[in-house]
Amino acid sequence: MIRPRATSQVAVIVLLLSLLRGVAAQSGPFVAGQFRGRIAYCADGNHNDPDDWVASPVALAILAEAGLAERLVHFNYNCILPQTNPDWEQIHAASVLGTAQRYGYDRARFFDCQKQRTEMLASLAQTISASSEDDPLYCIVAGPVEVPYLGIQQADPSRRPHVYCISHSRWNDGFARNYTFTHTKRSVIESGVNWVQIRDQNLLLSKSPYGRPAPPEAFADFFWLRDAPETRLRWLWERLVLSTRPDPSDAGMAYFLISGDEQCDPAKLRSLLADHQRPAPTVARGTIRLEAENFQKLSGFEVEDRNDRAASHRLCVRLTTPAGGSIRTPFREPFAAAGRCDLEVRYSAASECGLTLRVGNTFERRWRAPGSTGGWTSHRALDLELRWGDEIAVEAHGDVQLDYVQLERRP
């Protein structure tokens, strides 16, 4: 016979466990100040741009300084598959492995895509297949998305909801004008993994134009590496000079993963790497932008790669069917929590059209847009409740393009 008091205690324990499980599902990658999950990193560096010769080492330094070296379970490099430069392969390999040795990484977790493709894909697939709600995988995409896609295809499909691919670059996402990639990020998104697009890290971390060596004065923001007493920081400086340009921009994704901060700059890198001051991870980002082309389900919409710098990442989605269409995605972002927020839908309409915004099962907003909006315009929904896992959907009829849906968290 179970006594009422015991029954009550059991009910309380079950409720507490349920609440704790819900909090854990919402608050990754840090729970109670501790990182929860594993990290994979995919980098190129063997063609197109030598920036990875320094970005890969800086990313490894960031993760190590954050105490996450053991969380890095897979690192592949030289991942541009259509073309390669053997000399660049060797330089990037030396940069990656030299940094791994200096910061105490397990060498067995590093793979050269040009020389170890079979072993690399087997490791990446195994890493993905080990993912779970309690042990998710955060995959930093610092090279073309083809390699992550191939790894996902070889892995257990049931594990995909527990994988988060982090990107900042339309080039890595497969939208390159001088290369023909087999897959774009849409191939990955449609597989069911979570795609996390942060702001372009070149804005604050790249200090010279792409395509030509930088003059000496362009390196000034990184002289602290040159002048550092630590030999491994001076090693990073050597990699920076060798790369010909001060541009460790891909490493900004590693900084985001340890902090939730999308605005890494040389001063923040110095605070972490030279002064050994770890940034406190944010609980919930104030602004989260969901690019329209990153929504998990596009119905009647197609991705449009346009030479329009007013469009976020110069990409959008265009409605292509007269019957109308929709974009839908679950809200599963890192460094995000349930709460009240304002929501902006950015769009462009060539003729009069109707749009509907839906959030979960509790919010619906319909509006009509006049024709010829004259470029991008926005519709805002204020003070709505957003919960982890809520589906966000935009439905449309007419000649319309969608750029993004942006969330502004309320205090």
Query: Over pLDDT 70: what percentage of the chain?
Result: 93
Q: Looking at the chain, how many residues does it have?
A: 411
Q: What is the pLDDT of residues 96-151, one digit of tens each?
A: 999 999 999 999 999 999 999 999 999 999 999 999 999 999 999 999 999 999 99
Residue 13 domain-assigned?
A: no
Distance CA 289, CA 351 (A): 26
Structure tokens at 333: 């972002």
Looking at the fold, whether 203 and 326 belong to one and the same domain comes out as no
Is residue 163 a contact partner of residue 129, using CB atoms and an 8 Å limit?
no
Provide the number of structural domains found in the chain: 2
Whole-angstrom Cα distance, residue 41 to residue 279?
A: 21
Domain containing residue 399: CATH number: 2.60.120.260
CATH of the domain at 192: 3.90.245.10
Q: Domain range for residue 310?
A: 287-409
Q: Are residues 76 and 172 in the same domain?
A: yes
**Same domain for 198 and 60?**
yes
Whether 3 is covered by a domain: the verdict is no
pLDDT for res 344? 99
The answer on 170 and 79 residing in a single domain is yes
- Domain shared by 225 and 353, yes or no: no
Q: Residue 308 corresponds to which amino acid?
A: D
The answer to whether position 8 is within a domain reads no
- 250 with 296, same domain: the answer is no
Whether 10 maps to a domain, the answer reads: no
Are residues 179 and 119 part of one domain? yes
pLDDT at 18: 44
Lowest mean pLDDT among 70-74, 141-145, 228-232, 319-323: 319-323
| Residue 284 near residue 407, CB atoms below 8 Å | no
**Structural domain contains residue 152:** yes
Does 385 fall in a domain?
yes
The answer to whether residues 330 and 354 belong to one domain is yes
* Same-domain status, 263 and 291: no
Q: Are residues 139 and 260 in the same domain?
A: yes
Hunting for tokens 């502004």 — which residue is that?
A: 408
- Convert the pLDDT of each residue in 382-409 to its tens digit: 999 999 999 999 999 999 999 999 999 9
